[in-house]
Structure 1
């Protein structure tokens, strides 16, 4: 990461005596920060355009339907620290991902107290993906995981107590790397039949139509 590269660069420089002096964070301060972080989240609006930050602050608590209050602290160009009065509200937001604002994905990450705000990565976000054109014999938890591993870490496959998800499609929740091209589908073979399984991402809003990457919407597309 950029921050790690900068740290290595500074370590290699010739520092004066006062710059060499190390400031050590005390254990009780680490514990205090960890305790406060229990009720905090990091949020980033994934967009290349300017957006109404005041509208973001006022709109999202209503959409989240939180029971307590929340404080927004701006920590970057489009990122915020959210501090909740109730930890249950934080969990509700985590479980309800993905969230969007003005058709832009909102990256949500838990707090890592050992990192500076600029080092927090918003590269992954969970999505529900519908797997279409799957034969009934492939609509199981095991095959759902195998197929969706092309996207990323599988969180859950929606199946019944028999381990099957027979229906119009199979729904799987997985972590999507929003810095990479969206996976559109996969081939599967059942006996002599070879079928193309189509991936449909639920609540998918803006993404780059040139390279199908969510992290940018085309203005700085390398392609």
Structure 2
């Protein structure tokens, strides 16, 4: 026999839709003090595969952990199979750092987005839109290839600027490499228009 809910008076529903974003509502106060559980939380990453088709989510988790070849075990859990979101619990900080440093990662040619877990709110609200890439810009003028200011000017076309890589002889290289943080919801531009000192605007090819 199930519980007789009629024995318990229900709270008024008149508050619905009122004060949800304010403070005039009775609510539990959440203690965000640091404890052992929080320390373990620092070794978590939330991830999402940006794929337009169905994928084998278990295979995605198992494959990535195998590729990462961690020092200590990594546990991967599916948050939402439909949205292709996951959480990874790392056993060692260095393993987590390696995953972040060596982005981007792919599964079945689809890119992963990773982010630190949202410790102050719902883990499902963790933003998963940006991925760091090395973008190569080809056939740039020899003069100015070493200029970080020039690389930073390209960020409006490519994404948030992280850094650049310049070889010992940049005048001999076909391209310069720029590290960017790209929003995967937007297509990456295939060319960048640049106004040269002559005043002429030319397009330069971009590849990742």
TM-score (norm. length: structure 2): 0.80
1:105-146: per-residue Cα shift (whole Å, max 9, x none)? Answer: 111111120121221111111111000121111312221221
User: What is the match of residue 140 of structure 2?
Assistant: 134
Give the superposed CA RMSD. Answer: 2.3
Higher helix fraction: Structure 1 or Structure 2? 1
User: What is the match of residue 78 of structure 2?
Assistant: 74
CA distance in structure 1 between the aligned counterparts of 2:42 and 2:164, rounded to whole angstroms: 28
1:46-100: per-residue Cα shift (whole Å, max 9, x none)? Answer: 1122211221122111211221110112112311110011110000000010000
CA distance in structure 1 between the aligned counterparts of 2:206 and 2:74, rounded to whole angstroms: 35
Indicate if the aligned counterparts of 1:33 and 1:113 stay in contact, CA closer than 8 A: no
Local SS of the residue matching 1:138:
coil
CA distance in structure 2 between the aligned counterparts of 1:179 and 1:156, rounded to whole angstroms: 22
Indicate if the aligned counterparts of 1:158 and 1:165 stay in contact, CA closer than 8 A: no
Instruction: Please state if 1:150 is matched with 2:157.
Output: yes
CA distance in structure 2 between the aligned counterparts of 1:123 and 1:49, rounded to whole angstroms: 18
**1:160 Cα offset (Å):** 5.1
Q: 1:21 to 1:150 in 2, by over 3 A?
A: same
Aligned residues: 185
Structure 1 gap ranges (5+): 1-9, 202-223
User: What is the match of residue 7 of structure 2?
Assistant: none
User: What is the match of residue 41 of structure 1?
Assistant: 45
Greater C-alpha radius of gyration = 2
Local SS of the residue matching 2:58:
helix
Give structure 1 regions of 4+ aligned residues with deviation exceeding 4 angstroms. Answer: 30-33
CA distance in structure 2 between the aligned counterparts of 1:194 and 1:26, rounded to whole angstroms: 57
**1:27 Cα offset (Å):** 3.7
CA distance in structure 2 between the aligned counterparts of 1:172 and 1:197, rounded to whole angstroms: 14
User: What is the match of residue 25 of structure 1?
Assistant: 30
TM-score (norm. length: structure 1): 0.75
Instruction: Please state if 1:103 is matched with 2:109.
Output: yes
Local SS of the residue matching 1:105:
strand
Matches within 5 A, 1:170-185: 170-185=176-191
